[in-house]
Structure 1
Amino acid sequence: MPEPVKKPISAFARKPKTQEAEEGSSVIFEAETEKPDAKVKWQCNSKDIASDSKYIIAADGNKHSLTIKVITKEDASVYAVIAGGSKVKFELKVVSQPGGRLRCCCCAFEVSVCSPTGCNVITAHKDLTGLFTEKPQSGEVTVGENITFVAKVNAESLLKKPTVKWFKGKWMDLASKSGKHLQLKETYDRNTKVYTFEMHIIAAKANFAGGYRCEVSSKDKFDSCNFDLTVHGDSTDGNDDSGELDFSTLLKKRTVQVHTETDVDVWNILSQAPPTEYEKIAFQYGITDLRGMLKRLKKMKKEEKKSEAFLKKLDPAYQVSKGHKIKLAVEVANSDIEVKWLKNGQEIQPTGRYIFESVGNMRYLTINHCSLADDAAYTCKVGEEKCTTELFVKEPPILVVKNLEDQMVMKGERVELECEVSEEGANVKWLDKDGVELTRDESFKYRFKKDGCKHVLIINEATKEDCGHYKVKTNGGESVAEVLVQEKELEVYQSIADLTVKAKDQAVFKCEVSDENVRGTWYKNGVEVKPDARVNITHIGRIHKLTIDDVKPEDEGDYTFVPDGYAYNLSAKLNFLEVKIDYVPRQDPPKIHLDCMGRTAESTIVVVAGNKLRLDVPITGDPAPTVIWTKGEKVRQMKEGDGRVHVETTKGHCVFTIECAERQDEGIYSVVVRNPAGEDTADIHVKVVDVPDPPMAPTILSVGEDSCVVQWEPPLFDGGQPIIGYVLERKKLKSYRWMRLNFDPYPETTYEAKRMIEGVPYEMRIYAVNSIGMSRHSPASQPFVPIAPTSEPLGLCVDNVSDTSITLKWRRPERIGSADLEGYGIEYCKEGTDEWIPAMEGLTERTSTVIKGLTTGDKLQFRVRAYNMAGPSAPATLAQPVTIREIMQRPKIWLPRNLRQTLIKKVGDIMNIVIPFQGKPRPKVTWSKDGEPLDPTLASVRNSEVDTIFFIRKTERKHSGKYELQVQIENVEDKAAVTLQVVDLPGPPEALKIVDTWGFNVALEWKPPKDNGNCEITGYTIQKADKKTMEWYTVHDQYRRTHCVVSDLIMGNEYVFRVFSINLVGLSPEPYCTKDSVYIQKTGIIYKPPNYKDHDFTEAPKFTRPLVDRSVIAGYNATLSCAVRGIPKPKVTWYKNKMDISNEAKYRMISKQGVLTLEIRKPCPFDGGVYTCKAVNDSGEDTVECKLEVRRK
């Protein structure tokens, strides 16, 4: 069994307490340890304190003290004492003295202590704790502009260079996002030893808004700072010179959609996801312990009971990034109680990574440099009670730092695709050409290898079926490479050799290659050799033979064997040796014996560059002639050797040899033989053929989604043989491996290369091929990126048409692709023609446009195309041509629903209403007030083509009234009315008097105010005051009647009363007070009550709320309501057009506490008319009526 873990015991027997002291005084903090020899360390703001003139640290056995002299405001901070693994925090609070000036004995500055009457206040210094000397601050930026965030770190106290990371949200590391819009910079000042870290955001976009975090770490020190970035939309609507009353510009709806990346909480995702998704989520967010995660997830779903020991428990789960630190906090009920911290049920001992802290009732567990081993369940235990949480350690996203490279291998060889990721031991997925994940199988076709950060996919014995794109994928990136498998490279086991044969002999050229299935073609001087009676071509296994029987002089030449499908050739020379035996008399003139003199194409001697040229010329003559070889004007005499050229003469022969023939060796060679008897001359035409020169750099004509069209010019020199075709290669710009695109020579000079990856830059190069071989490669083309044009714009339609202009609008294309959208091009075409005319210069970025300057009456067809780097998309066209002519439309006012009722505004409010209307051509808009033309000084009006704005900057009582809007086009018009009621505070009530006094009661009576504030008086507030104190107390609030009784007055006091008026706005500014006071007499006075007559409570019916005219929509239930009073309760009868409807089922009559309601169920237009309500009792009768209008839907 494992050894039991010891219980952690605090190192302090007595802990220092928080103290409060005045400026200029001294303070002593005392602590007592359990062991007398314990080492104690004092800290201020997590920095060690040393003894000096300011601080005195003393130790006597197990008693320790810290003395702070001449306290100043700067000494107010959090202090700590540390012994072993225990750390106790306490505070020093500094109180200012009530005046005067203090001088600090340890600092060369003065502190002003000010009284409340005032003096200049000293600005507080900037207090920065941790590693930052300057923290990045929150900022705002407009779309398209730049902004920079700066963080500074002082490195004087650091042992190594600080490391800074910038994050957006919780987990997005911005180091991997550096590019066009984001740049991270770092500078170091050697004089001040300050590191400056900058984050530059260039051409900000709306989705850049959100919360950011800057983290700095150096060995065991860590600090972080949060800041926000707000991105404002670019305000492009409206005119700059429209003035401050350009209400149509001010009120245009501008919606800026800001897409912020939400913070990902893996715990919430796990708790809500089905069990089938756990493995996928674990891979996506870097959770490796899937089994442990499921166990803890099951435990966390149990309900927790209310605890008595804990005031605040741990959260259900915490999440932290690998390498960061986290602090777990609980609040206990008893500040002196000790707690235990457990990890997966095992008690934790304090170490450098696990730090326990106790501050008041708070208990903290800090875990530094979290690793995957810290991913566990943590428990805080107090006695028998405990609270548990789950800590998830999240690994940062795994990035592919070194991409895969394309591979081209021979059939049967092994393929190794290698990549490098950002962290060792990371999990990656390999996907084949069909997007299916690769796994180990029984045939061991695929093998996977890990070596630190390197991951390798091995494909054994590659075949043609293995060609395609392979992908490696992590939870933070991916990389793609293409594998091409070529047939096995041909090897030559035995090459053909030069032959010298005599007439009538047999010449046999023989070669052996590695593949017995490879066929080939034999050439003589670049011309294909056809078998006949003398020439025999055989292919047996790996051996190819060319046999020539009965050799003749015309068989002499260069013979070449070219294997089919390979840019490869084998060459040899056939030399014809003719022996003639003639009787040569003395003094025989020299004679050159050649069958052909090289003056025709058929007799030209062809040699392949690099091969040996041997001219063996039979000669006769007695005495032996002298041989002179010439080429053009250059004469070469007989020598043993001259560099590459060798001339030798034997009896009956002169031999001219050029080792490794070159292109400049081509020409007409002359041989001259002389002796005393005469001379003879012969010309030999030699042609040197070679591989062609490399073509010029190819040009990319166009690109597509996964292809490009490349064009090139033929080489300047074809090598003396016609160009058979070309071989093309491509590679990724950042790769070093070229991939061949065709194995058979391609005869054209324009080629469409396919199977590329969109968005990846490539280069192309070309080889020229003739019958001799392949040229060197051409220079690489300019880098290009395969990009497809976007799809066509969506929803093209006509928004508006006038006599000379048209407004079009559309939506963005459904597919944009990897390139940014550059804009839209608009064209139009007259009906009956095929000429498309650009509607504007350049492109527009908007999805709507107004085309002006058109001719009235023309029928035009319009189309819109989206443009990106690849060019224009397919056009979006209108369904039919459009006639350029204003469309007549009747004027109609669309009065908003809230303006159909009385509009109530307070005095001083701003009134701004927008009323839309329609009508073409633009209607004439007229405002009037109470039947009179609107005074321009009373209100401001601004009209546009589609709405009118009525604006009053500061409302007054005189603005109340009925405003009428009229829109008119020629003789057709439409009207709408808006009623404005400007309300104000009411005036005070009038004629307040004391009507009667009895016992402890007083009856008051008053009259309504003369000025009701232009709205109904809703009540009154009655207050009383004792004349001794004159303190006012409210007796009744929101009292609706104009008389009341004030009760519960105190005997022997004298009272005065006042009343406020209340309306919709509020209380009247001034009350009305009683002129007289009331004295509440003491007991002993006999009250003689007056004689009252019995009150007659009968009352004739009277409607307190009349019926209101209504306009309703057919098919929806409608109600008519009124209120009636009367004693005894009156009998109510409803009439429609003076016909009793009491017994009709369509109507429902409701009476509740004097409120009468008639409900009309699903009315139709025939239910419209005059409705009457009649109330009758013994004291009289009363009627009320209204008009009901039923509109169709």
Structure 2
Amino acid sequence: LPLPLKKPKTQEAEEGSSVIFEAETEKPDAKVKWQCNSKDIASDSKYIIAADGNKHSLTIKVITKEDASVYAVIAGGSKVKFELKVVSQPGGRLRCCCCAFEVSVCSPTDTRQDLTGLFTEKPQSGEVTVGENITFVAKVNAESLLKKPTVKWFKGKWMDLASKSGKHLQLKETYDRNTKVYTFEMHIIAAKANFAGGYRCEVSSKDKFDSCNFDLTVHEMRKSSTDGNDDSGELDFSTLLKKRTVQVHTETDVDVWNILSQAPPTEYEKIAFQYGITDLRGMLKRLKKMKKDEKKSEAFLKKLDPAYQVSKGHKIKLAVEVANSDIEVKWLKNGQEIQPTGRYIFESVGNMRYLTINHCSLADDAAYSCKVGDEKCTTELFVKEPPVLVVKNLEDQMVMKGERVELECEVSEEGANVKWEKDGVELTRDESFKYRFKKDGCKHVLIINEATKEDCGHYKVKTNGGESVAEVLVQEKELEVYQSIADLTVKAKDQAVFKCEVSDENVRGTWYKNGVEVKPDARVNITHIGRIHKLTIDDVKPEDEGDYTFVPDGYAFNLSAKLNFLEVKIDYVPRQDPPKIHLDCMGRTAESTIVVVAGNKLRLDVPITGDPAPTVIWTKGEKVRQMEGLSLPAHASVSTHVHLLTFTSFYGRIHVETTKGHCVFTIECAERQDEGIYSVVVRNPAGEDTADIHVKVVDVPDPPMAPTILSVGEDSCVVQWEPPLLDGGQPIIGYVLERKKLKSYRWMRLNFDPYPETTYEAKRMIEGVPYEMRVYAVNSIGMSRHSPASQPFVPIAPTSEPLGLCVDDVSDTSITLKWRRPERIGSADLEGYGIEYCKEGTDEWIPAMEGLTERTSTVIKGLTTGDKLQFRVRAYNMAGPSAPATLAQPVTIREIMQRPKIWLPRNLRQTLIKKVGDTMNIVIPFQGKPRPKVTWSKDGEPLDPTIASVRNSEVDTIFFIRKTERKHSGKYELQVQIENVEDKAAVTLQVVDLPGPPEALKIVDTWGFNVALEWKPPKDNGNCEITGYTIQKADKKTMEWYTVHDQYRRTHCVVSDLIMGNEYVFRVFSINLVGLSPEPYCTKDSVYIQKTGIIYKPPNYKDHDFTEAPKFTRPLVDRSVIAGYNATLSCAVRGIPKPKVTWYKNKMDISNEAKYRMISKQGVLTLEIRKPCPFDGGVYTCKAVNDSGEDTVECKLEVRRK
């Protein structure tokens, strides 16, 4: 091969200058190719390629920054690489190469700075609504351009949109010949939300370049919400939840460079956000320019690694090992020498040199070099910012329509960037300022000014180190009744007051009596103070009796109560008339029932008559409240006609007042224990009278017991609770449920209308997050206090069913089943698999084993032969069993007959060669059911147990010889038999050993300085072919043996170049596959080399002319091939000297085309066409030329489509 004698060297040149690379080859006519970035270079206005004999040169004119690359020169089969480094001109805008690794404070929008203003019209930023179309236009004037401009469209920093053309993106190009203006258009069709972002348009023409950045904003379509669409977006969010990882673990240090080098370019931006890389473009640029081929260094024994990574605030130690322990080194940062300080510490220990950087910051992200004399090694230090974590999570919120919503979180770093998403769609500031983003140090707040039903959903805040999710529920404002109006029973001339309290103080209402609106007048007064509405009727008359209703404005419900008029009938009673109680309850029975709400005032006004004035006694059960015979406390007062007694302690809430003609019994702030039958007894000397009044105290119910969680799902749970022990005297009409995250303090109400059942399925929860539940009981009076919280639970879905359940084997009493892991595992770990079987015709599933198995296969034993069984497998996790995977049909438990078959391994199908003393251990698998009979034999005879050991199993047989001997060679036959069916296979074993020495070595002839030897092959060839001989000679004076011929295959040879005057003896070793024979065969006689006395003059012969014109001994043959598969055309040629071969396609030279590969070996010429297409069909010609003539041959190639 014409290897270059002089290799091109790496050079450094300034922009605008020229550079020459030179190379020399051994042969002057060697074919040399130059490449740049593995692409061939041809002579043009930029490159000049010259050749002068064996000297070759490459000249690059007017160097630009883009010329800095890796070049190569190829001569024959040798390839030498070299580099061109380009530095900016003094005072120029471009930095020098050594400073190219410097980290800029803000990432540049483009790596190329030499903009020339090629655009005559730049694409402008635009806005579009989802589903609509938009077009971006760029125009370039080509009057001053030598070459047609090339335009590339990018999204982000490096996503080339040329590969994305299709349904939603089309690129168009037009040219106006009159104005010489190129128009480039990018059409975005049916825009999607993820199309939003920054775009870039680049135009280049030879050494000119220009670029323009523009933005695309995509607005969501306005959606009209309805009351029945509360769960909109739930499905999409559930899909996102399945991918959410809720495990919290300590982050391990990762090498971002390794991740970037293995990831596709489309993932670079995502990785940069995840690991906090602020200058990703600078990082990739510096890594790309690092040298890949390390040259052997004389000054360094161990160089710096190509790159190092350290977390912000940590320290790092850079180490090199130098060859001279006394030499001084210099440390450089971006080409500038570093001076030792408190942060930069230099150490020297033996041959090791250390640079320690303490408290690394982003300013330390740079290129570092260690310099020894003129030699230096360089590395890159990348400072990684710690990931931003969410310290305080978002809280679920439930607000009413129109209220303000603030979602607040706290992150670990001030000024960190966060992303807000709603149901997986990123939120941005829109024109209406619906969403406001507030940042205060580590706190980040998302503000929704006026919440609507459309704002319901899951909101997520994301950083590069974590995320948090919260749910926002927006409800229509519902009016709650805090205090309802109660029935009243009053007598004439008294005052009746109906009072109720609602949740909204701004709600007005209307009072009705028997369906007719009540108008205020002198006796009727209607008031509204805050949340309290009152209807007051003074001087009650009989016509005021009726049903009174309060209807809140704008709400479809009402509050009703009844006013009962107590008519007092006064009859003239003569003196000494017995007392009488006058209770007129409008046709009711004497035993009246009065209902009072707990906490309200109970007043019983009973008219009485009698002369003299009777004594009044009140009793409840057996307890007597009597005015007579009691000593009055100090604070009680008595008048002539009014007997007022105020009880203390137990009786502190009870008042009894007697006036002329009636008695009043009052209980302040009624309680449940006040419920019962109250009796009033009036007595005087003329007699007595009694009446019973039933008082019923109603209240809100007691709180239910703590609810229990029956089951959990992927985003739901089923909760159950028991009704409260006391219903407050009114039937329970339903329950209200609330839930909250375990680590949160905010409870979210799940239903606003009372839920009548005691089992409820709560939905719209986040898988993997712990929750708690509590319950309120509701009756007609109001809502109870909340129950104790349930035990914490985590919504987890069962796994999907196991995949690929199949029967692997069946015997008379057992079956082997196999399956694969479920496709979806979920956030909980897989606990194992449960296997069950069921007899055909029954529904009883019987566990096949106790507990669960973690393996994906099992053997079920102890089955009854002949039973037809169905099997199923279910996967278990914390949420319970998955859906079962079943077989397509029942399986009959019976051994299946399987023909015997030997699966002889490929390496045993040829002769197995072993050396004497080696161990032989072969395993041959087979199949067959029931278990087949295995028999070994040697050379047709039964195998002797002393020769080899045999172990058989149900699926294979093992043949073992501990120490092989020559007698073990032979043909071994394996027979596998089931009843009358059998299969056979043979293994040939050849045990080889070292050969014996050759026979009958003798000296045949001697002349001049040459000796002819001859011998016979050895009698013992070691059980393998003799591959050659080794011939040695020795001078009888020293008897030191020297090898003359090695691996010599003939049995006679000539030993030349013997020394005159010496006496020689010879010996021969035989060689086989194992090695040399242990002993040689030596000549019995010696040979003495005589001195020559006559000078031999050979005759002069005329040199024979061996030249021959090229001639094809094997022509090309017409071929028809299939497109896409490599094809070859072959022919054979002879000629002296070796002819030069050229291939043509349709009379066009194809020697330099990369699609074709030309091979020449021993006169056989082959043209390989790589993956031909129909275009490659045609007439191919091969032409051979030398000094004596030329010859051609051709054929026709047809390429057929697949």
Q: Which is worse superposed, 665-674 or 274-283?
A: 274-283
Partner of 1:151: 138
Measure the CA separation in 2 of the matches of 1:608 and 1:130.
86
Describe the SS at the equivalent of 1:545.
strand
Residues 255 and 274 of structure 1: CA distance in aligned 2, closer, same or farther (over 3 Å): closer
Cα deviation, 1:246-288, whole Å, max 9, x if unaligned, reads 9999999999999999995434665787876554332122112
CA 1:618 to 1:136, structure 2 compared with 1: closer, same or farther past 3 Å? same
CA deviation digits over 1:1120-1171, x for unaligned, max 9? 9999999999999999999999999999999999999999999999999999
Residues 752-806 of structure 1: CA distance to partner in whole angstroms, max 9, x if unpaired? Answer: 1101111222221111100111112222222222121211111122222333333
Percent identity, aligned pairs only, is 98
How far 1:1051 moved relative to its partner?
A: 3.4
* Deviation (angstroms), 1:727: 0.5
Asked if 2 retains the 8 angstrom alpha-carbon contact of 1:697 and 1:780, the reply is: yes
**1:87 and 1:358 in contact (8 A); partners too:** no
Equivalent residues of 1:54, 1:106 under 8 A apart:
no
Conserved? CA contact 1:638–1:648, under 8 Å: no
Q: Are residue 699 (structure 1) and residue 708 (structure 2) matched?
A: yes
962-971 or 66-75, which deviates more:
66-75
Larger mean Cα displacement after TM superposition, 919-928 or 1129-1138: 1129-1138
In structure 2, the CA distance between the partners of 1:413 and 1:680, relative to structure 1 (3 Å rule), is: same
Deviations 1:192-245 (A, max 9, x none): 99999999999999999999999999999999999999999x999999999999
C-alpha change, 1:354 and 1:481, in structure 2 (3 Å) is: same
Q: Which moved more, 1:454-463 or 1:494-503?
A: 494-503
Query: Contact 2:590/2:692 (CA < 8 Å) preserved in 1?
Result: no
RMSD of the TM alignment (CA)? Answer: 24.2
* CA displacement at 1:692 relative to structure 2: 0.9
8 Å contact 2:482–2:782 — kept in the other structure?
A: no
Match of 2:425, SS state, is: coil
Distance 1:1039 1:1104 in 2: 34
**Preserved CA contact (<8 Å) 1:861 1:880:** yes
TM-superposed CA distance for 1:666, in Å, is 0.7
Structure 1 CA distance, aligned partners of 2:141 and 2:1145?
Answer: 90
Tell me, in whole angstroms, the C-alpha distance in 2 between the residues paired with 1:20 and 1:1177: 44
- Cα distance in 2 for partners of 1:197, 1:1137 equals 38
User: In the TM superposition, what is the alpha-carbon distance from 1:451 to its structure 2 partner?
Assistant: 3.9
The CA deviation at 1:572 is: 9.6
Q: Per the alignment, do residues 79 and 151 of structure 1 end up closer, same or farther by CA in structure 2, a change over 3 Å counting?
A: farther
Is the deviation greater in 359-368 or in 297-306? 297-306
Contact 1:798–1:807, Cα closer than 8 Å, also in 2: yes
Q: Does 1:619 align with 2:608?
A: yes
User: Does 2:645 align with 1:655?
Assistant: no
1:675 deviates by 2.5
Alpha carbons of structure 1 residues 655 and 992: separation in structure 2 relative to 1, 3 Å: same
Distance 1:1120 1:942, change over 3 A: farther
2:101–2:366 Cα contact (<8 Å) kept? no
Structure 1 residues 530 and 99: CA distance shift in structure 2, 3 A:
closer
For residues 482 and 344 of structure 1, the distance between their equivalents in structure 2, rounded to whole angstroms, comes to 50
* Residues 178, 840 of structure 1: alpha-carbon distance in 2 compared, 3 angstrom cutoff: farther
Against the structure 1 CA distance between its residues 181 and 877, is the aligned structure 2 distance closer, same or farther, given a 3 Å change threshold?
Answer: farther
In structure 2, relative to structure 1, the CA distance for the partners of 1:338 and 1:1098 (3 Å cut) is closer
Counterpart-to-counterpart distance in 1, 2:663 and 2:28: 117
Q: Which runs of 5+ in 1 are unaligned?
A: 8-15, 118-123
Cα distance 1:436–1:507, how it changes in 2: closer, same or farther (>3 A)? same
Tell me, yes or no, if the aligned pair for 1:169 and 1:261 is still in contact at 8 Å: no
Question: What is residue 293 of structure 1 aligned with on the other side?
Answer: 283
Q: CA deviation at 1:741?
A: 0.7
8 Å CA contact retained: 2:107, 2:279: no
In 2 relative to 1, CA 783–680 (structure 1 residues): closer, same or farther, beyond 3 Å?
Answer: same
Cα distance, 1:629–1:1114 mapped onto 2, change above 3 Å: closer
Count matched residues: 1174
Contact 1:169–1:262, Cα closer than 8 Å, also in 2: no
The answer as to whether partners of 1:98 and 1:115 remain within 8 angstroms in 2 is: no
CA deviations 1:88-116 (Å, max 9, x no partner) are 99999999999999999999999999999
1:918 positional shift: 2.6
Q: Indicate the larger mover: 547-556 or 951-960.
A: 547-556
2:610 match: secondary structure? strand
Provide closer, same or farther for how the CA distance between residues 938 and 221 of structure 1 changes in structure 2, counting only shifts above 3 A: farther
> Could you say which residue in structure 2 is the equivalent of 1:915?
924
The worse-fitting range, judged by mean Cα deviation, of 190-199 and 593-602 is 190-199
* 2:535 counterpart of 1:546: yes
* Contact 1:171–1:396 (8 Å) recurs in 2: no
SS in 1 for 2:395: coil
| Counterpart mapping for 1:189-588 below 5 A | 265-267=255-257, 278-289=268-279, 293=283, 317-328=307-318, 343=333, 348-356=338-346, 365-378=355-368, 390-430=380-420, 432-488=421-477, 502-503=491-492, 507=496, 509=498, 515=504, 578=567, 580-588=569-577
- 2-structure distance, mates of 1:17, 1:176: 38
CA distance, structure 2, for counterparts of residue 89 and residue 857 of structure 1: 76
Contact 2:912–2:990 under 8 Å retained in 1 = yes
Q: Does 1:898 align with 2:907?
A: yes
Question: In structure 2, how many angstroms separate the alpha carbons of the residues matched to 1:240 and 1:551?
Answer: 50
Structure 1's 1082 and 1163: CA in aligned 2 closer, same or farther, altered over 3 A? same
- Contact 2:2–2:30, Cα closer than 8 Å, also in 1: no
Matches of residues 49-64 of structure 1 in structure 2 within 5 Å? none
Q: Which deviates the most, 369-378 or 744-753?
A: 369-378
Distance (whole Å) between structure 1 residues aligned to residue 316 and residue 1169 of structure 2 = 68
Q: Is 1:924 matched with 2:916? A: no
Deviation readout 1:847-891 (Å, 9 max, x if unpaired): 222233333333333322222222222222222233333333332
Greater shift after overlay, 1166-1175 or 1029-1038? 1166-1175
Pick which of 590-599 and 764-773 moved more.
590-599
Structure 1 position 681, deviation (Å): 1.8
CA contact (8 A) 2:86 2:97 kept: no
Residue 167 (structure 1) shift: 38
Per the alignment, do residues 560 and 254 of structure 1 end up closer, same or farther by CA in structure 2, a change over 3 Å counting?
Answer: closer
Q: CA distance change for structure 1 residues 341 and 953 in 2, over 3 Å: closer, same or farther?
A: same
Deviation at 1:991, TM superposition (A): 3.3
Provide the C-alpha distance between the structure 2 equivalents of 1:1036 and 1:1106, rounded to a whole number of angstroms: 42
Q: Is contact 2:195-2:216 (8 Å) kept? A: yes
Write the deviation string for residues 613-639 of structure 1: whole angstroms up to 9, x where unpaired.
Answer: 221222223333222221111122239
Q: Does structure 1 conserve the Cα–Cα contact (< 8 Å) formed by 2:4 and 2:24?
A: no
Aligned equivalents of 1:1025 and 1:360: distance in 2?
Answer: 53
User: Contact conserved, 2:591 with 2:691, CA < 8 A, in 1?
Assistant: no
State the alpha-carbon separation in 2 of the partners of residues 611 and 237 from structure 1.
Answer: 39
- TM-score under structure 2 normalisation? 0.63
Pick closer, same or farther for the CA change 1:751–1:383 going to 2, 3 Å: same
Displacement of 1:364 = 5.5
Secondary structure at the aligned position of 2:690 is classed as strand
Q: 1:610 to 1:1169 in 2, by over 3 A?
A: closer
Corresponding residue of 1:1043: 1052
Residues 1074, 436 of structure 1: alpha-carbon distance in 2 compared, 3 angstrom cutoff? same
Shift of the 687–510 alpha-carbon distance from structure 1 to 2, 3 Å rule, reads closer
Instruction: Report how far residue 1063 of structure 1 moved.
Output: 0.7
More displaced stretch, 345-354 vs 210-219: 210-219
**1:437-496 CA distance string (max 9 Å, x none):** 122333333233334443333332333322222112222222222222344575999997
Q: Mark the CA change 1:248 to 1:774 in structure 2 (over 3 Å): closer, same or farther.
A: closer
* CA pair 281-607 structure 1, distance change in 2 beyond 3 A: same
Task: Using the TM superposition, name which of 755-764 and 546-555 deviates more.
Answer: 546-555
Compute the displacement of 1:900 (Å). 1.7
CA distance in 1, matches of 2:1138, 2:20: 87
Contact 2:1108 2:1188 in 1 (8 A): yes
Q: Could you say what secondary structure the match of 1:248 adopts? A: helix
Could you tell me whether the CA contact under 8 Å between 1:725 and 1:747 is conserved in 2? yes
Distance 1:457 1:363, change over 3 A: same
- CA gap of 1:59–1:522, structure 2 versus 1, over 3 A, is farther
CA distance in 2, matches of 1:625, 1:792: 86
Superposed CA offset, 1:820-841 (max 9, x none): 2222222333333333333333
Question: Given that residues 907 and 956 in structure 1 are in contact (C-alpha distance below 8 angstroms), is that contact kept between their aligned partners in structure 2?
Answer: yes
Structure 2 portions without partners, runs of 5+? 629-651
Worse-matched range after superposition: 298-307 or 885-894: 298-307
Cα-to-partner distance string for 1:667-708 (whole Å, 9 max, x where unaligned): 111122223333222211111111111112222222111111
